[in-house]
Structure formats: C-alpha cells, structure tokens
Amino acid sequence: MNSFDVIVVGGGHAGIEAACSVAQFKQTVLLISLKSVPVGSMPCNPSVGGIGKGQVVREIDALGGVMGKFSDLSAIQYRTLNTSKGHAVRSTRQQVDKYVYSEIATRYIESNEYISLLRDKVINVSRLSNKFIVSCETSSLKYFCSKVIVTTGTFLGGITHIGEEKKSGGRYDCESAPFANNFLQEFGFSFLRFKTGTPPRLISSSIDFSKCVPQESDPESINFHYKHAVSDRFLRQMTCYLTRTNEKTLDIIRSNRERSPLFNGQISGVGPRYCPSIEDKAFRHPDRDSHHIFLEPESIDGETIYPSGISTSLPKDVQVDFLNSIPGLESVKIKSFGYAVEYDVIDSSTLNRSLESIDVPGLYFAGQVNGTSGYEEAAAQGLVAGMNCGLSLRESDARLSLSRNDSYIGVMIEDLITQKRDEPYRLFTARAENRLLLREDNTISRITPFRKILGLETDIDRYNLFHVEQINKISKFCDNKRFYEGKDKDFFETNGFGSLSKDITLSELLKRPEVDPIKTLVDILKNESIEIDIKVAAEVAISKKYEGYIDKANQQNERLLNKDSKRINWKQLIESTNISNECKQRIARIRPEYFSELKNIEGIRPATISYVAGLLR
C-alpha cells in the first residue's frame, strides 16, 4: 500500500504523538523515520517532565497521548520539583531508561493497526492537486497522502560541532534532512538558524561516586499516566548524584575560548538561554566557578551517565581536561564526547492554532522544527497537529484549540504562532498567567472535557466521568464535615491545626496556613473509613486550600475568555484607519483569528488592543 491519510516525517516524540493521535480517528498513517535514529530516542537528557513540562506531560496524557504512559513504564528515578513552593508550580520529573522508552514506543507503533512504520530517508515532498507525494531514498514507491506532518527535529540542515570538527547531521554520526529545506523553500518557507548541545556521556564504573552527593528516587512522586497507581514503579529505581565544577574547571574552559565553536565564529545559530552550555556559563558568569552537575544514569544497567549541566562543544582534549578537574570524575572515561548541533527552524508565526501552515493547507509542523526545545514541548505539538489532522479529515469544522487560560499547551501554541522566535522556546510555569489554575493535580478535570470535540469514546473519557464523580463526592464531604469547638479542641492542638475558637468545616480547616492540605484530608478520610484515590484527594485538598484565590482567578479567567475567545477579522483590521501602519503590518504577518492571539503579538500597541476590544463590545 502506498496511499495513506497522513504521512508523518520524523519518528521522535512529536512524530509519535502525531501518528498515534491520527490513528485514534481510525485513519491510516505512514510514520517515516531514519534508520540510524531509534523511534522515540532521547539524544539529550533521558528525562521526562520538569518545571512546567510535568504539567504538559499530564495534559498530553489527559488528551489521550502516550508520552506519560511510556515514561512511567521506563522510569528509573522520580522527583517532585519545587516542593518548597506552592502547589501551583510543583512539577514531576522522571529519569527514564532511554533504551526501554524507545523499545516501548517502537512496539506500540508497530502494534497499531492504523500506523505503518517505514525506516527510510525522505528525499522529496511535492504536491499534485489536493495530494502530497513523498519520495524516499531506498524505496522505489512514491507515497501519497492528504496531509503531511513535518516533525524533523534538529535534522533540517543539521551540522554537528566538536571543536574544529564539523559534520553534516541532526545528531552526531547521523544524517541530516536536506530534502525538507528544499521542498519548504519551494513552498515559500524561510528559516532561522538555532543551536543546541549535549554533554559527553561518561562510563559509570570510572566515576568515584563517594565524592558526590546521592539523590534517591522519591517514592511519593505521582505517575504521569492516569491509569497507573500513584506509587507503581515498573523498573528498579536508580540513584542520581550531585557534584560541582570548581575554579580549576572554569579556568580550563576560559583558557580555551579561542578553540570553542561558540566563541570563535564557527557556530552562528542561536542557543537556548535557559539551557546554556558550560562555555556559556563560564563567560556569562565570570565571578562564579561552582555550577551543579547532576550525574544521571541513562539506563537501568547504569553503564553510561549523563552529566546534566555541562553541555559542551569544546575539543575532545579540553573536555577530558575539564572533566578530570571535577570531584568524582578525576579518572573518568568518556563513552561519547559532547557536541553542539546547528539546525534550521521555520517561522512558527506562519502557522495557525492547529499548527497547520496558513499558506499551504494540509501541511503541519510540530516539535523542534517550530523553534522549541524539549521532548515534552515536541510531544504536545505532535498531539495537537495529529488531533487536528484527524478532525479535518473527517471534514469537520471542529478543531482542538486550547487557550493559554486553560492549559500550558495552549500557552505554548499561542506563543509560537503569535511571536517570531529569536531563540529556542522552552516552557516554564512563569509563561502562564493562570498558574494557580494550571496545576498538575487538576489536569484530568480541566483537560479531559476538551476531548468531547474529538467525538471519541475511550478509557480516558470513561475515567473522567468517574473522576468527576469522586471529586464532587469528596468536595461535598469537606463542606459538610464539621469540627466543634467543645468536642474537637484537643484534636486540633494535638495535630498542630492551631486553635479552635468556633465551629468550622473541613473545607475551612484545609485553608489554614499551618495545615498540610493533602495529608490532613487523607488522614481524615481514613478515620472516616472512606477509600479514595490519592490523586482525587490531592485535587480536592489543593482546590479547597486556594479556594478563595481560585474563585478570583476564575472570575478573571471568565472575563478574559469572554474577549479572548472571540474571533476577529484580521483583513478588516488592516483596512481600518484607527490602527497604525506598524500594527497593520504585524497583524497582516501573523493573521490572528482570535482576540487573545492579537493581544499576544509582539509589538502590538495598547491603543490597537483597546480599539479592537471596543469593537468586540
């Protein structure tokens, strides 16, 4: 068979989610991935989740995606980040076995009756009438489809750098994808040049871990997949370790500035500000010599270690020298050297909310090709592109359109399509205006309802009905359960709940600053012989804790949604005499469909926003 509904180019995290999302609609998908690159591979840190990213993985899972499930099944260490801060910004992170993750992803893809996996290199994509035609390097067949999703990651014009050594490829010792540059240029796309990097991989047996600080896996961290029990662990848990750079380390790096591709003009691409190389750190912070290095196993056998925090493209001899200056790494052996990769990305402001090209209908983009960084951001984009492909093939007007007011995925999509990228995009909780609402614990409640638009009936939809019933039941219990001044005073003091000068409800107790809301609710439910999923208890407890703030945020959110979700006619706006020429040019370039997109366009004047808001009123 050489005719499919959708062809996905690239078998990374964006490509996997895109293919699986289309398959949910029982439409046929051809997923094309390079032979030299494992499906769902992790060329950088083999971890899933993190600040803001943990929320995204849960949102993917609630929408029916697969990343959370694969991550749980291959996780070898768990951590909950930001535990010293409020629940709104706490995030789960899992260190995974990168080989197990890839094996699980490959098996899942190969077992799906609607997905065909082709290990080949795409050499051309063209269009004839309403069909795309895809040609590959080793296959004599031409493949036809209605939609194409491009998820080529760092392989567009990819060049790797280790010192003076330069090679073509999206990763070290891998091929690049020149076809895409050619056919995208034919369709009128322009490119930006970005850069990312990775540290050397170290042989575990050559490290003296006694000089490092151990970091054990957290047994209380909650799994990503909604079906997995909170404390399920599917693989043996591994210990990570912490060490640090020192003055000698940074002296070695600084004395080799002229040999660094980042500083001698060899690399022109813009790197990620929030994930800098060790060279960046050395010269950006000249007064600081101590930087964290997290030594993280890449697999359950622990043969190789990922030293997070020291991405580098310095020459191999310099890498050896500076590594040997670090406590625990004095005699370390290197499995593979760190390198930088330069690659092309498209201007994501030429896409709509479905991640479909505005100018080339049927052509979608997801992942690092859109200028983002991170497996989680890529997977979320793949899911959005895949879901919207599936919906459009039904010839339905419905689209999966998440806003920044209801999800981190919505925050990212809106940022991507309304702003030109000048550096790789990374998602943080700080990018969201509604962090108090966009928590990990309430993901099922706030995200699953969006699946109604898909018209699919799956386990996640049935689970949501049960979940909502349980939330309502426990919430009502909290409102009705009372503590009495005369009877429960000693109980309050014994448990450190503070004084009890009047009768209060359990909901009111959970709001007290000295009270741990989750533990308190779980303990009281046990005393009442009420069995409940800890995830339900957590959502209710935190919602009660911040109820007043959440009510205010909801009111503000409603006011925002009333305007933000309203459609606008950008063609009429660029003809208006009440809008400056500068703003008209920005509007014509972005072509916003909603008021929220207009507001988010970089450089739009407040007067223009006020004028359009007046029109909406």
Confidence of residue 560 (pLDDT cuts 50, 70, 90): low
Q: Is the pLDDT of residue 1 over 80?
A: no
Lowest-pLDDT choice from 68-82, 167-181, 302-316, 529-543: 167-181
- Ranked by mean pLDDT, which of 71-80, 187-196, 431-440 comes out on top? 71-80
Q: Is the pLDDT of residue 562 over 80?
A: no
The upper half-sphere exposure of residue 494, i.e. CA atoms within 13 Å in the direction of its Cβ, equals 4
Average pLDDT of the residues of the chain? 91
* Mean pLDDT, residues 250-265: 94
Is residue 152 within 8 Å of 67, Cβ to Cβ?
Answer: no
Is residue 130 within 8 Å of 139, Cβ to Cβ?
Answer: no
**Can you give the pTM of this predicted structure?**
0.91
pLDDT of 611 reads 83
Confidence of residue 412 (pLDDT cuts 50, 70, 90): very high
Q: Which of 278, 44, 71 is nearest to 153 (CA)?
A: 44
Mapping DSSP onto H, E and C, the string for 65-113 reads CCHHHHHHHHEEEEEEECCCCCHHHCEEEEEECHHHHHHHHHHHHHHCC
Q: CB under 8 Å to 402, separation ≥6 — which residues?
A: 384, 409, 410, 413, 450
Residue 542 one-letter amino acid: I
pLDDT of 249 reads 97
pLDDT of 180 reads 61
Q: Give the pLDDT confidence of 347-389 residue by residue, as tens digits.
A: 999 999 999 999 999 999 999 999 999 999 999 999 999 999 9
